[in-house]
Structure 1
Amino acid sequence: MQKRWVERNTVDTDVVTSLSKALNIHKVLARLLVQRGVFDFEQARKFFRPSLDDLHSPFLMKDMDLAIRRIEQAIGMKENILVYGDYDVDGTTAVSVLYSFLKRFYNHIGYYIPDRYKEGYGISFQGIDYAAENNYSLIIALDCGIKSVDKIEYAAQKGIDFIIGDHHTPGNELPKATAVLDPKRKDCNYPYKELSGCGIAFKIIHAFAKTNQLEEAEVFQYLDLVAVSIASDIVPITGENRVLAYYGLKKLNNNPSFGLRALVDLSTKAGEMNLTDVIFQIGPRINAAGRIDHAKDAVKLLISKSLEEAKNCCGLIDVQNMQRKDFDARITAEALEIIQKSETLIKRKTTVVYQEDWHKGVIGIVASRLTEKYYRPTIVLTKSNGHVAGSARSVAGFDLYEALSECSDLLEQFGGHKYAAGLTMKAENVPALQSKFEAVVAQSIAPELLEPEISIDAKIHLADITPKFFRVLKQFAPFGPENNAPVFIAKNVYSVGEAQLVGANHLKMYITQEGAPAFDCIGFGLGEYITHINKGIPFTACFSIEENVWRDKKNIQLNLKGIRLM
């Protein structure tokens, strides 16, 4: 699928020049900073040197004082506390952080993860019944609960209090919990709105530590788990998330928890892990537990107290991950076949596919793969517990949550973000949803949003990519949403020597430009251009600049995103 090349908006050249001089850096690097809202020396210092001192006080969050007071009351009265979380990476890391922290000095505590297949997403009646049967009088819900009005009322009837720590968008009515922690509450003035669910858990333990004069090291030891949640939940790498991810990655690479150490040892990554490595190497394994069996296996791994215990847990999770890959491949193939056999589905601006025997645990992954293939808002549905469960994914720039809101009359329940959501519905409403979702999206989506794009940050000459340039560029990391790895464009480049095909359809070569050295290049999926390039035809390349590590050797490598022949 061809991609549109879109150059980012121009920036004030006077500001760029001034910043370039103030920092003694190349103008291209100054331009990248200005694009990220960095305009002067002090802002650049904070950007390049994230500090834990820049984290906001957790007590700026609405109801945090109530939450800490209730936890302290429970500890003082020796009440049983249940830490409850969702079954994905964000939920399981959140539970692991809060449970591990409190368990260090309080024994009357347990954790609960709902069964994806028997209970579904979020707080369940079964979970509340479990708490009542086991004498838990306080439940701290993480990464879920902001819309669980009826569940909180049910718990209150059983004498169970709730603290909700969520980061999803609230509905019109907030649950009547003891405390509702969610920066997205309209009445919450917390300065940063984009924390992960695990980030909320981190804020709770930070507030508890401040209240009880505990060393901050007691809190910061969990930053590796917070970084894993930030990466896997695809939240913006801005503000506090940038600080938390920066220090979390440092801990992950230097002194991770036993559970994460075991996962890192299973990865194929050479050198230090970045957020992208976490997404592809660590996140899927943690998720596999809840997708294939039960996510409590992931929590058990993440709270391991020894490397031996962690490696034993990791063995099971790795097997589950292999099973997940098998289900993923089969269901993706079946979904693609359904679309390809239907002229109606091919021509639509949305994809909504349903098969009642698909494995619920992987439909989110399949939705992502279908979105990559056809590049349009996508919903994948399957039968689960007498209902139809679905996972939805969107394309850049289109608000999926709003589109689903307009289809809410056909849904039993839905929730999520702009780009990803989950839903449940009655089977008889599936055809109506296919029609209505298509109508809603077709009416509101801009045509260009149905074409994948390459966002280009700046023009560059290859001669400008010096060791100093790259050293500064690396400090823009960690990369992720709203701070993606910069993409550059260079014109009139050409191959040095013979370009080669590697793997399935990948282009491997060295390219240069007049007056510049040659750079090692890899172009994934760009093998179609090899004939033209080997004829010596100049071309325009867009690429990111990376460090390639091979057998302990490091070199600058250009990762080609697209090629245009001259």
Structure 2
Amino acid sequence: MIKNSVSDRNWILSKFDENKVKKATQELGVSEVLCRLLAIRNVEADQSLDFLNPKIKNSMPNPFLLKSMDEAVKLIIKHIKEESHICIYGDYDVDGASSTSILARFLRNFTNNFFIFIPDRIQDGYGPNLKIFEDIASKGVKLIITVDCGTTSFEPIEYAKSKNIDVVVIDHHQSTETLPIANAIVNPNRFDETSNLTYLCAAGVAFLVLSGIVTRLREEDFFKKKNIQEPNLLNYLDLVALGTVCDVVPLQGLNRAFVFQGLKVLQKRNNLGIKTLSDVANINSKISTYHLGYIIGPKINAGGRIGKADHGANLLLTEDPEIAFKISKELNQLNEKRKNIEGIILEEAINIAKHKDNNPVLVVSSNTWHEGIIGIIASRLKDHFNKPTFVINFEGDYGKGSARSLPGFDIGSAVVKAKQSEIITKGGGHKMAAGFSINQDKADEFEIFLIDLFNKSGCQSSKEKDLYIDSVLASSAVNEKFFNEIDKLAPFGSANREPRFVIENVSITKSLILKESHIKAFCKTSNNSKINLISFNSVNTPIGSYLLNAKNKKYDIAGRLSLNEWNGKREVQFLLDDLAISTD
């Protein structure tokens, strides 16, 4: 369609089967444009209604299909009935905070004899360690439930078992071909799993565990006998949606239903922590996946990155308005601090990565970077260079790293293989993200290992970034009616990108900088229609330079539609992804 836009990207018009579009239009009774977008996403006509209105009951599997689920459910029920002292051991990211909160909120229906523990990213590292488990054991705990971690925690779990403490692991990170001696490991990514639920995050797996518990308790008439109100698990879908979106797992199958229905729960703002954080962030419109992934999630993550690790989980659990406001304000401040630190590190990391641009995998390191920020830096470099990226910060001879990948290269598997080859000392993850620890004298060997692994994987490395376009759009379609039509494809996220359109022959009449980083431009089309566009983080980029120095040129613009709601006003805006000088 267009080769080499101003940001050196190729625009590719997505293909679809015209016959499928005609069939879907006749059978579904929805617009042709919606059927075209469904066809581009390979959604068959007989799947379309479930895709457009995904329901938990239609997507929910039998939770007991997951290995170890029966043992996990029986054990948790046993300890609930015995009123045992229980520890929920979570992780410091959003998925960890969400899954921890889901379990804790559920347990509140039966007991208060439990506590949560979130390790400090820098002092404790990821997942259980022996020292912390020793401390937990000293508190008289009888059951430890690890969430979003634990699959590779051999030594701590062995210690817990030696102290007659039961351990249930609820996780989604990839395992090795041996497993810890926990009583139960519920993980769709354990090596021997056959459930085809590998795309779930920890919050989703936790929801399945609770479904199994409620099923078994209902079978024995527990709630009626104990005169306890049966928990409505659908009320936890706001937390499941939060974890699912922020862990960037594919929004397909059960995940799509989780987020679609979870957004409905979120609109009620029943969770005091999410409500308060949304208020602090000035989110006045309906909460969307954008708000979860780009506003609420980063603020919750900021606690685990550079502040107090348990702030996120405590916010999602509190019923005290003062505590909710205090934590929300602190997380907001921490996130601003995180942005400043990130900007400095990113500039350094890009300069280092430029010298390795011929490598298919980027491995960059320093001894001055903030450990809590390197995951974001890996993500930014991955997007910037279009390559799987590993970022390491060394303190002395020991380093901790974070990695992010592109579709096709399983980064979690790569890290597990490096651990098995004794190149790294610790590591784990899933297909798109991973964390690891490494001795500095192994850094070069690690880089060579990863490049060799990538070359053998069959993945293609390309410096060019393709931008897939769904359709060329008439400027008159930039209106609320058309926006509402394409918004039926929501929720958007991993594996279900927002529809992207091109509008041709656009003139920029005025542009201005917003908040030092973004650009708003006022545009006029060939038929004198007016379009307002926003280009995020484009100051000091090629796109920004063209927007701010339009010089009476005509442009083709590529991007997505967004409904901006502010002070009771509603306006459809064009979110710019790229632009090219028009050839007409």
TM-score normalised to the size of structure 1? 0.90
Partners of 1:75 and 1:51 in 2: how far apart?
30
Instruction: Give 1:501 shift.
Output: 4.2
Partners of 2:518 and 2:316 in 1: how far apart?
38
Partners of 1:107 and 1:407 in 2: how far apart?
42
Q: Which region of structure 1 is more displaced relative to structure 2, 294-303 or 95-104?
A: 294-303
Q: Which region of structure 1 is more displaced relative to structure 2, 445-454 or 362-371?
A: 445-454
Select the residue among 180, 202, 207 that pairs with 2:185. Answer: 180
Instruction: Give 1:321 shift.
Output: 2.7
Partners of 1:20 and 1:33 in 2: how far apart?
11
- Whether 2:172 is the aligned partner of 1:160: answer no
Select the residue among 272, 294, 307 that pairs with 1:280. Answer: 294
Select the residue among 395, 409, 423 that pairs with 1:398. Answer: 409
Q: Specify the alignment match of 1:73 in structure 2.
A: 78
Q: Specify the alignment match of 1:5 in structure 2.
A: 11
- For 2:116, the aligned partner's letter is Y
After superposition, the Cα gap between the structure-2 partners of 1:443 and 1:105, relative to the gap in structure 1 and judged at 3 Å, is closer
Unaligned runs of 5+ in 1: none
Partners of 1:509 and 1:542 in 2: how far apart?
15
- Whether 2:560 is the aligned partner of 1:544: answer yes
Select the residue among 248, 262, 286 that pairs with 2:276. Answer: 262
After superposition, the Cα gap between the structure-2 partners of 1:386 and 1:125, relative to the gap in structure 1 and judged at 3 Å, is farther
Q: Which region of structure 1 is more displaced relative to structure 2, 68-77 or 331-340?
A: 331-340
After superposition, the Cα gap between the structure-2 partners of 1:116 and 1:472, relative to the gap in structure 1 and judged at 3 Å, is same
- Whether 2:382 is the aligned partner of 1:377: answer no
After superposition, the Cα gap between the structure-2 partners of 1:271 and 1:191, relative to the gap in structure 1 and judged at 3 Å, is same
After superposition, the Cα gap between the structure-2 partners of 1:254 and 1:505, relative to the gap in structure 1 and judged at 3 Å, is closer
Q: Specify the alignment match of 1:133 in structure 2.
A: 138
After superposition, the Cα gap between the structure-2 partners of 1:451 and 1:418, relative to the gap in structure 1 and judged at 3 Å, is farther
Q: Which region of structure 1 is more displaced relative to structure 2, 434-443 or 154-163?
A: 434-443
Q: Which region of structure 1 is more displaced relative to structure 2, 523-532 or 164-173?
A: 523-532
Q: Specify the alignment match of 1:535 in structure 2.
A: 552
- For 1:236, the aligned partner's letter is P
Instruction: Give 1:59 shift.
Output: 2.6
Instruction: Give 1:257 shift.
Output: 0.7
Q: Specify the alignment match of 1:193 in structure 2.
A: 198
Give the secondary-structure state (helix, strand or coil) at the position aligned to 2:78: helix
Unaligned runs of 5+ in 2: 1-6, 224-228
Give the secondary-structure state (helix, strand or coil) at the position aligned to 1:107: coil
Deviations 1:75-129 (A, max 9, x none): 2223211111111111111111101210232122111122222321112112321
Select the residue among 480, 488, 496 that pairs with 1:475. Answer: 488
Instruction: Give 1:398 shift.
Output: 3.5
- Whether 2:79 is the aligned partner of 1:63: answer no
Whether contact under 8 Å (1:132, 1:158) holds in the other structure is yes
Give the secondary-structure state (helix, strand or coil) at the position aligned to 1:541: strand
- For 2:10, the aligned partner's letter is R
Instruction: Give 1:453 shift.
Output: 2.4
Partners of 2:360 and 2:125 in 1: how far apart?
29
Partners of 2:494 and 2:269 in 1: how far apart?
26
- For 1:120, the aligned partner's letter is G
Q: Which region of structure 1 is more displaced relative to structure 2, 516-525 or 234-243?
A: 516-525
Partners of 2:241 and 2:400 in 1: how far apart?
29
Q: Specify the alignment match of 2:500 in structure 1.
A: 487
Whether contact under 8 Å (1:28, 1:460) holds in the other structure is no
Note the 1:449-460 alignment, pairs <5 A.
449-460=462-473
Q: RMSD of the alignment, in Å?
A: 2.7
Q: Specify the alignment match of 2:119 in structure 1.
A: 114
- For 2:57, the aligned partner's letter is D
Whether contact under 8 Å (1:118, 1:385) holds in the other structure is no
Q: Which region of structure 1 is more displaced relative to structure 2, 60-69 or 396-405?
A: 396-405
Give the secondary-structure state (helix, strand or coil) at the position aligned to 1:265: helix
Give the secondary-structure state (helix, strand or coil) at the position aligned to 2:495: coil
Deviations 1:301-330 (A, max 9, x none): 211012222112223333333332333233
- For 1:479, the aligned partner's letter is F
- Whether 2:450 is the aligned partner of 1:437: answer yes
Whether contact under 8 Å (2:63, 2:209) holds in the other structure is yes
- For 1:535, the aligned partner's letter is N
Select the residue among 482, 492, 509 that pairs with 2:522. Answer: 509
Q: Specify the alignment match of 2:330 in structure 1.
A: 316
Q: Specify the alignment match of 2:430 in structure 1.
A: 417
Partners of 2:401 and 2:457 in 1: how far apart?
22
Q: Specify the alignment match of 1:49 in structure 2.
A: 53
Partners of 1:532 and 1:286 in 2: how far apart?
38
- For 1:44, the aligned partner's letter is S
Partners of 1:108 and 1:326 in 2: how far apart?
41
Whether contact under 8 Å (1:26, 1:469) holds in the other structure is no
Whether contact under 8 Å (1:166, 1:200) holds in the other structure is yes
Note the 1:281-300 alignment, pairs <5 A.
281-300=295-314
Partners of 1:192 and 1:437 in 2: how far apart?
27
Note the 1:31-46 alignment, pairs <5 A.
31-40=36-45, 43-46=47-50
Partners of 2:298 and 2:396 in 1: how far apart?
24
Runs of 4+ in 1 over 6 A off after TM superposition: none
Partners of 2:94 and 2:180 in 1: how far apart?
24
Q: Which region of structure 1 is more displaced relative to structure 2, 93-102 or 327-336?
A: 327-336
Q: Specify the alignment match of 1:88 in structure 2.
A: 93
Whether contact under 8 Å (1:16, 1:34) holds in the other structure is yes
Whether contact under 8 Å (1:11, 1:31) holds in the other structure is yes
Give the secondary-structure state (helix, strand or coil) at the position aligned to 2:489: coil
Whether contact under 8 Å (1:509, 1:522) holds in the other structure is no
- For 2:388, the aligned partner's letter is P
- For 2:343, the aligned partner's letter is A
Give the secondary-structure state (helix, strand or coil) at the position aligned to 2:446: helix
Give the secondary-structure state (helix, strand or coil) at the position aligned to 1:450: coil
Partners of 2:544 and 2:122 in 1: how far apart?
42
Partners of 1:521 and 1:382 in 2: how far apart?
38
Partners of 2:390 and 2:377 in 1: how far apart?
9
After superposition, the Cα gap between the structure-2 partners of 1:34 and 1:414, relative to the gap in structure 1 and judged at 3 Å, is same
Instruction: Give 1:217 shift.
Output: 5.5
Partners of 1:255 and 1:90 in 2: how far apart?
19
- For 1:227, the aligned partner's letter is A
Whether contact under 8 Å (1:82, 1:110) holds in the other structure is yes
Deviations 1:335-357 (A, max 9, x none): 345456xxx43554443222223
Partners of 1:305 and 1:517 in 2: how far apart?
49
Partners of 1:225 and 1:473 in 2: how far apart?
26
Q: Specify the alignment match of 2:578 in structure 1.
A: 562
Give the secondary-structure state (helix, strand or coil) at the position aligned to 1:127: helix
Give the secondary-structure state (helix, strand or coil) at the position aligned to 2:266: helix
